[in-house]
Amino acid sequence: MPPSPTPPPPATAWWDGALFYEIFVRSFYDSDGDGQGDLPGLIERLDYLNDGDPATSDDLGVTGLWLMPVFDSASYHGYDVIDYRTVNPDYGTNDDFRRLVDEAHRRGIRVVVDLVLNHTSDQHPWFLDSASGPDAAHRDWYIWSETDPGYLGPLGQPVWHPKNGAYYYALFWDGMPDLNLENARVTDELYDVARFWLQEMGADGFRLDAARYLIEEGDLQENTAATHDWLGRFHAFTRSIDPQMLTVGEVWDVSDLVSTYVGDELDLAFEFSLSKAILISVNEDRVTPLASAMKEIQRLYPKGGYATFLTNHDQNRVMDQLGRDPVRARLAATLLLTLPGTPFVYYGEEIGMTGSKPDERIRTPMQWTSSPQAGFGSGTPWEPVNEGYETTNVEEQTTDPGSLLSHYRSLIALRRTHPALGFGDYLPVDSADSRVYAFLRQVPGEQLLVIVNLGPNPAADYGLSLRNGPLAPGTYTATDLLAAARAVSLTVDAGGSFGGYQPRAELPGQSALILHLVPGEE
């Protein structure tokens, strides 16, 4: 069992200021022509993500990878595990994974793996034995009832499924039976799985799938006290193995509930409400959804306690949600990469890949070139490449300074070189225009003012104001980091206040400024 109390996190966690990239290995790059992306293929493409040389500018600047499940699995997606200690043969071998970690670390990239604790495949040896009868050695590794309890799941779905004269509990579907985490033997086994990936495989942490569903209390099936307790003990155990490891949890719920997991249970939790608010504000040209979400987040979370994103592998791609509008896509990226939190980018998002459900169509092969199969590999891909790959691909965008890819690279580089963007404090700034959103990011010695015009039309009367802010009185030279151009200087009054500030006479529609404020006027 885990030690107590939980070892404290490092004073400055390595994920503070990090930029993560979510990868579905099956769809990233096929190295051997079998139509399946694989770990050797991912290794070949690491330089695209980060070449390890801070002097170059043609890589994305990724410093963390989240790999969707790489375990041996019964399905293409990997969330129904057959063997927790073996890499999916479609992806390669355990040694391939270890080589990936070594190559990633050499480039300054940490590797986080998706860990599925809530359930296994119904083809897992544990479940095959468990289902064989009441006296099976693994019977109580899963949740069984002699009769159908009759209640449905949180979304109204069937959760009790008949098998060999009894009923087993499976929250998501009958092919993924839930593990019984109240069984100490199951918990010990999962602890050892975590130890294996941290110590023997070299992983830097875990993304915990379906974290709010781990333990049921009767027909209460989400966010239970037992789930919180279990995650606290799991966090303590993994920290005892590696004090620097990261846990980031999928708790797909409202911020009030998500935030309760952060601290002794999770280091980070994905902020689904903020993701939704960003997309609504960008789509509807209005500040209120985003401003309201940020106000709640600042109230609820410890500093740096949440992960930000636009969309992930379970959602229609951001380009589809933004009407395939490249201007809105740039705006959403700007918000993601200037707001506080640890950002995660879904593979292909940076080039504007499209895709809407079913799930296979939001997990299509990465679009590298305009050549057949989008340069994914020499074989026929497991899933057809998406439409428009001939123009929407890395090769076409990589040398175009006006491309979406170049915009992502520039923003990520700014996060890396300006600590205020990476992990600075956040303070909203008022605007006279309801479509202009502004905020300060700051650390000691550096202040940045971010201004975003969400509206489609130019803003000419958007005066910015702040009362009792953190800036010392005086005049500040303002330089727009995106355009590398001087803006109107900012004058701050006693008490850190300013009013009516307009760094440009007019803000173009759907545009942004990132102003570096330096005391003194040149």
Query: Over the stretch 214-249, which tens digit does the pLDDT of each residue have?
Result: 999 999 999 999 999 999 999 999 999 999 999 999
| Inter-residue contact 140 to 127 (CB < 8 Å) | no
Residue 4 CB contacts under 8 Å (≥ 6 apart), including other chains? 236
Please give the average per-residue pLDDT across 135-144, as a whole number: 98
Please report how the helices 184-195 and 225-241 are oriented relative to each other, as an axis angle in degrees rounded to 10: 40
Comparing CA positions, the residue from 278, 279, 277, 258 lying closest to residue 269 is 258
**Neighbouring C-alpha atoms within 13 Å toward the C-beta of 485:** 8
Q: Is 271 a catalytic residue?
A: no
Q: For residue 344, which amino acid is it? A: F
Average pLDDT (36-51) is: 98
Tokens of 219: 């027909």
Across the range 77-102, mean pLDDT stands at 98
User: What is the number of other CB atoms lying within 10 angstroms of the CB of residue 505?
Assistant: 8
Residue among 38, 59, 80, 250 flagged as catalytic: 250
Cβ atoms within 10 Å of 53's Cβ, excluding its own: 12
Average pLDDT in the 313-326 region? 98
Count the neighbouring beta carbons within 10 Å of the beta carbon of residue 494: 8
Q: What is the mean pLDDT of residues 437-465?
A: 97
Looking at residue 226, its pLDDT comes to: 98
The type of residue at 337 is L
Residues in a beta bridge with 443: 446
Q: For residue 2, is pLDDT > 90?
A: no
DSSP helix/strand/coil, 272: helix
Counting other chains too, the contacts that 387-395 makes at CB distance below 8 Å and 24 or more residues apart are 387/354, 388/354, 392/351, 392/352, 392/353, 392/354, 392/367, 393/351, 393/367, 393/368, 393/369, 394/48, 394/351, 394/366, 394/367, 394/368, 394/369, 395/368, 395/369, 395/370
DSSP string, 149-199: ---B-TTS-B-EEEETTEEEE-SS-TTSPBB-TTSHHHHHHHHHHHHIIII
Query: Dihedral through CA 23, CA 29, CA 33, CA 34, nearest 10?
Result: 10
Q: Which of 209, 222, 296, 349 is catalytic?
A: 209
At residue 12, the pLDDT reads 78
DSSP states along 14-33: TTTT--EEEE-GGGT--SSS
In terms of Cβ atoms closer than 10 Å to its own Cβ (0-12, 13-18, 19+), residue 37 is buried
pLDDT band at 23 (very low <50, low <70, confident <90, very high): very high
The reported pLDDT for the residue numbered 522 is 63
Counting residues of the chain whose pLDDT is more than 90, the rounded percentage is 95
Q: How far apart are CA 289 and CA 282, in angstroms?
A: 10
Q: What is the DSSP letter of 372?
A: G
List the Cα angle 297/299/300 in 5-degree steps.
Answer: 65
Q: Given this model, what pLDDT does residue 3 score?
A: 37
pLDDT value of position 41: 98
- Residue 374: pLDDT band (50, 70, 90) is very high
**What is the C-alpha to C-alpha distance for residues 176 and 156, in angstroms, rounded to an integer?**
17
**Beta-ladder partners of 384:** none
Told to judge if 209 belongs to the known catalytic residues of this protein, a careful annotator would answer yes
- Residue 7 scores a pLDDT above 90: no
- Tally the C-alpha atoms within 13 A of residue 79's C-alpha that lie toward its C-beta: 18
3-state secondary structure of 41: helix
For the record, the structure tokens of 256 come out as: 């009030």
**Per-residue pLDDT reduced to its tens digit, 250-280:** 999 999 999 999 999 999 999 999 999 999 9
| Spatial separation of the C-alpha atoms in residues 202 and 205, rounded to whole Å | 9
Residues 6+ apart with CB under 8 A from 107: 46, 47, 49, 50, 51, 52
Instruction: Inform me whether the pLDDT recorded for 83 exceeds 60.
Output: yes
pLDDT of residue 1: 38
Assign 6 a pLDDT band (cuts: 50, 70, 90): very low
The Cα 41–Cα 100 span in angstroms is 10
Count how many residues are written for the chain: 522
Stronger pLDDT, 8 or 61, i.e. the higher one: 61
